[in-house]
Amino acid sequence: VEIWRQWRVRIRYSCPSSVSARRPSPPLPLPSTMAKIKINLLLSLSADDFLSHIGGIYEKTPWVVSQFYDENLSPALDAAAVAAAKERITDVKILFDEIKRYVRAGGREKQLALLKSHPDLCLKLDPPSKRSDGTTGGGIITQESRQEQGRAGLSTLTPEERTKFRELNDRYKDKFRFPFILAVRNASKHTVLSALEGRVNSSPEEELGCALSQVDKIAWMRLLTKVDCVEGADGHGGFLTCHVLDTADGVPASGMRVELYRYEDGPERDGIRTQQRILLKSFVTNSDGRLDGPALKGAEFREGSYEWAFYAGDYFAKHTLSRISGTPFLDVVPLRFGLDDPTEHYHVPLLVSPWSYSTYRGS
């Protein structure tokens, strides 16, 4: 039923009804491979189609998205109110901000039920039949959770790490009575262990807020895989810029070569999802130490992991010869960073001398 509903949404907006009715149906894609839907089209769907498309962003908790629909888009509402909602929700960030408030307003009982619906991370270590304690939603992992957990590399834990993980995880569940939740899509096993070790010592109220925040992050990442920008727009509106400052001379670093890379999922090896470093663009900073325009914008500005490569050694060899040794202390400065919100402006600069550098998230 889920596949049929999503196929109906896809075919409705990609083919005229008269043609699609006569054309034999192609093989149905799995929900995770469905093409993104434009946000203006999403807001015009029926309740069933709306829920089939994004109702699963909160793990096994469709009431969150359903309540949002009923109170903002339902045909039972006044037409003017529905039109105002569609006019107000112009990008995926606004949509998500309006949906997630229903979790906070749902009350403690619903919040705890949402947290308990998430799978135990130990299910990645052992079959569900061996790890059943009533806090894992019956041991059934949704397709989204299976993909997200698969990127954390928990299957590669050493025996010592595995023992430590189980001990911390058991302490966490005994103390808080819900599974440890971490938005693991971009986390390594070391990140998971570190977060678990830190959070197990939190107070119940602190951890409830932290766990709900992680649930929101998971829902946000899932929503981004399902919803595209408004029809006719070039991306969600976000863009990436850069500025390089020479702190040794107190001037803009003019003429520095800069490369931008993106990290994409590569093949799986020994249970670990590898990453591929792909060169996107090369630049040379202008007289103000900036690029001549955004490095990324429009449809090419996507959430994910990126890296600047600043050729500082070449720059300082040209501008400060007396300060360069036979083997420069700083040669190529790599700066790896993440873009999480495709609607925002990310300014990622570099302040650099021959011996030090720093950066920050600007706007």
The full DSSP string for 260-321 is EEEEEEEEEETTEEEEEEEEEEEEE--TTSB-SS-SEEGGG--SEEEEEEEEHHHHHHHH-G
pLDDT surpasses 80 at 41: yes
Percent of the chain with pLDDT over 90: 68
Does residue 211 register a pLDDT over 80? yes
Tens of pLDDT, residues 149-189: 556 667 778 899 999 999 999 999 999 999 999 986 667 88
Residue 324: predicted pLDDT: 63
8 vs 184: CA distance, rounded Å: 31
pLDDT band of residue 72 (cuts 50, 70, 90) is very high
Instruction: Tell the residue number behind the tokens 């009804």, with chain if given.
Output: 17
Mean pLDDT, the chain, whole residue set:
85
Tokens of 240: 């990436």
The pLDDT assigned to 319 comes to: 77
Cα 77 to Cα 71, 178, 197, distances in angstroms: 8, 37, 48
Q: How confident is the model at residue 129 (pLDDT cuts 50, 70, 90)?
A: very low
pLDDT, position 42: 97
pLDDT of residue 168: 96
**Is the model's pLDDT at 245 over the cut of 80?**
yes
In whole angstroms, what separates CA 249 from the centre of its chain? 39
- 64 has pLDDT over 90: yes
Q: Which residue has the higher pLDDT, 262 or 135?
A: 262
Q: Which residue has the tokens 């192609």?
A: 26
**CA 142, CA 286: separation in Å to the nearest integer?**
49
